Amino acid sequence: MIPARSAEYRARVASRREALGLELRSLLVGDTGFVWEVGAGHGHFLTAYAAAQKEVTCIGIDIVADRVARAQRKRNRARLERLHFLLAEADDFLACLPETARFSEVYVLFPDPWPKRRHHKNRVMKPSFLEAVAARVGKGGALYFRTDHEPYFREVAASLKGHASWRAEQTDALPFEEPTVFEKRAERHFTLVARRR
Ligand SMILES: C[S@@+](CC[C@H](N)C(=O)[O-])C[C@H]1O[C@@H](n2cnc3c(N)ncnc32)[C@H](O)[C@@H]1O
């Protein structure tokens, strides 16, 4: 592992982000609003979503190459031209978004809960993520979060209470439902919608 502060590490991040930025500029030509799924896994949710909303550009990301490849195969079989799965990390993605790109909806479904406090920094739904997404959500845009890990849910709900950028509430349903791999395994789950103030 390369130490996070080393020049080599910074160079790797810069080159990874440059390639991602180029890819995003080519995918989002002429698009201002799009749907984003973070941690899309095998792509069940977003493939079903894109099949139901063929005119909407959808981008799913994951940090595990096999999962992205599998999701991309699903997308190819379904011939969904406006759906894309990319091997990318959430913070990198946010840092590389073209200036004009805006999220219409963001889905974070069953993210890794990282239950130990010292690992909370690895969670996707952290304060810096909420701020960065808020800066890029278009008018009327929303962030949807679903998990089966109640403490994670409660902490995110608490961090959104009185938030300057988001108005959040617990809900039972997403605007579009398609059970993910983790949802099928979960005994119960908790869902929250946060709308841009
Ligand atoms: C618990 S799985 C859930 C997958 C899928 N959403 C589901 O519900 O079946 C979490 C996924 O998030 C991905 N992931 C974790 N951290 C990520 C990050 N920072 N950026 C993008 N994807 C991430 C993992 O590789 C994994 O596929």
Count how many residues are written for the chain.
197
Domain edges within the chain: 7-196
What percentage of the chain carries pLDDT values higher than 70? Answer: 99
Expressed in angstroms and rounded, the spacing between residue 130 Cα and the centre of ligand 1 is 17
Token pair for 45: 């949710």
Q: Other CB atoms closer than 10 Å to residue 175's CB: what's the count?
A: 11
Helix ranges (H only) for the chain are 7-27, 44-52, 65-78, 90-96, 127-134, 150-160, 181-185
16 pLDDT higher than 80: yes
Q: What is the pLDDT of residue 5?
A: 73
Integer Cα distance of 45 and 27 in angstroms: 20
3 pLDDT higher than 80: no
Cβ–ligand 1 distance for 43 under 6 Å, the answer no
147 pLDDT higher than 80: yes
End-to-end CA distance of the chain: 41
CATH topology of domain 7-196: Rossmann fold (3.40.50)
SS3 of residue 103 by DSSP: strand
Q: For residue 146, give the ligand 1 atom closest to its CA.
A: 8
Mean of the pLDDT values across residues 21-43?
Answer: 94
Q: Other CB atoms closer than 10 Å to residue 164's CB: what's the count?
A: 7
Specify the pTM: 0.96
Q: Which residues of 108-143 are buried (b: 16+ CB within 10 A; e: fewer)?
A: bbbbebbeeeeeeeebbbbeebbebbbebbeeebbb
Which residue carries 């759906």 as its tokens? 83
2 pLDDT higher than 70: no
Residues labelled catalytic: 112
Expressed in angstroms and rounded, the spacing between residue 159 Cα and the centre of ligand 1 is 21
Q: pLDDT tens across 54-89, in order? A: 999 999 999 999 999 999 999 999 999 999 999 999
Q: Other CB atoms closer than 10 Å to residue 171's CB: what's the count?
A: 13
Mean of the pLDDT values across residues 127-150?
Answer: 96
